[in-house]
């Protein structure tokens, strides 16, 4: 036999031995590899189930968060509306009275000064204070809403309400228990009694429904600041 034939035979024998060994190795590893694949498949399936559960939980939490945000917004809006009402920044309607005051048509004489027959800013102040003391929830004078910072003062021959000039007749609207408001104004020794001898024209009408306009000015505090301390 020639040398090259021997070499080829040896190579074929070695190749056969290597293939047989490789096949046996694959056969030995086969069951273990399949078991590992099954374990990985189960793990992947479990992970997918957990992911779906987490996605459902996240969606539920998002829905709850949205509901909480809506509830918070509604509560804040409701509180702001209450503050606007208390501040006089919204118009209000309800039962109450319409009080009209006008200067006297009587002529003065030497024994009484002419200004006694006129309505003064002090008269309006007394009337407004009496109305609030009697439970009025909203008051206006000639369309000017009266709030805590409102001013009623004399400016020469005119009266200013909220820095707006008002002239007689003065129409005062007050929301509240109509009978109580009227009785407080007309009681003996009350704010209206001193006006009557001078002929000041007074008219009080009870209404089932009146509308008091909102405060239209600006609200500024020059000295007061919010106290955030205990």
166 - beta bridge partners? 159
- Using one digit for the tens of pLDDT, what is the confidence trace for 115-144? 889 999 999 999 999 999 999 999 999 999
Sheet holding 144-145, edge to edge: 144-145, 138-141, 170-175, 92-102, 201-212
**In whole angstroms, what is the distance from residue 11 CA to residue 74 CA?**
89
Whether the model pTM is above 0.75: no
Percentage of the chain beyond pLDDT 70 is: 77
For 104-144, give the DSSP string. Answer: --SPPBTTB-GGGGS--HHHHHHHHHHHHHTT-SEEEETTE
- Residue 196 is classified by DSSP as G
Please tell me the total number of residues recorded for the chain in this structure: 230
- Using one digit for the tens of pLDDT, what is the confidence trace for 50-99? 777 777 777 787 787 778 777 777 777 777 777 777 778 899 999 999 99
**In whole angstroms, what is the distance from residue 120 CA to residue 154 CA?**
8
What are residue 219's phi and psi, to 5 degrees?
-110, 110
Q: Which of these, 181, 96, 84, lies nearest to 132 by C-alpha position?
A: 181
What are residue 192's phi and psi, to 5 degrees?
-90, -25
Give the model's pLDDT for residue 176. 97
Give the model's pLDDT for residue 95. 98
Is residue 103 helix, strand or coil? coil
Give the model's pLDDT for residue 94. 97
Give the model's pLDDT for residue 50. 77
CB 176 within 8 A of CB 137: yes
Residue with tokens 């301390």: 229
């Amino acid at each position: 036999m020639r040398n090259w034939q021997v070499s080829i035979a040896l190579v074929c024998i070695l190749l056969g031995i290597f293939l047989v060994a490789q096949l046996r190795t694959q056969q030995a590893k086969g069951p273990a590899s399949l078991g590992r694949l099954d374990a990985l498949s189960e793990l992947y399936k479990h992970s997918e189930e957990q992911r779906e559960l987490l996605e459902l939980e996240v969606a539920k939490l998002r829905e709850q968060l949205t509901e909480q945000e809506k509830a918070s917004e509604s509560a804040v809006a409701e509180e702001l509306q209450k503050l606007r009402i208390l501040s006089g920044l919204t118009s209000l309607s309800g039962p109450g009275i319409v009080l009209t005051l006008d200067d006297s048509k009587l002529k003065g004489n030497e024994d009484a000064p002419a200004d006694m027959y006129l309505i003064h800013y002090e008269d309006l102040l007394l009337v407004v204070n009496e109305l609030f003391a009697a439970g009025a929830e909203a008051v206006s004078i000639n369309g000017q809403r009266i709030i805590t910072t409102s001013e009623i003062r004399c400016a020469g021959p005119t009266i200013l309400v909220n820095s707006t000039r008002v002239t007689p007749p003065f129409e005062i609207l007050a929301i509240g228990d109509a009978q109580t408001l009227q009785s407080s104004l007309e009681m003996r020794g009350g704010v209206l009694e001193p006006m009557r001898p001078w002929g000041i024209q007074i008219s009080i009408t009870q209404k089932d429904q009146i509308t008091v306009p909102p405060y239209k000015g600006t609200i500024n505090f020059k000295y007061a600041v919010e106290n955030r301390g205990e």
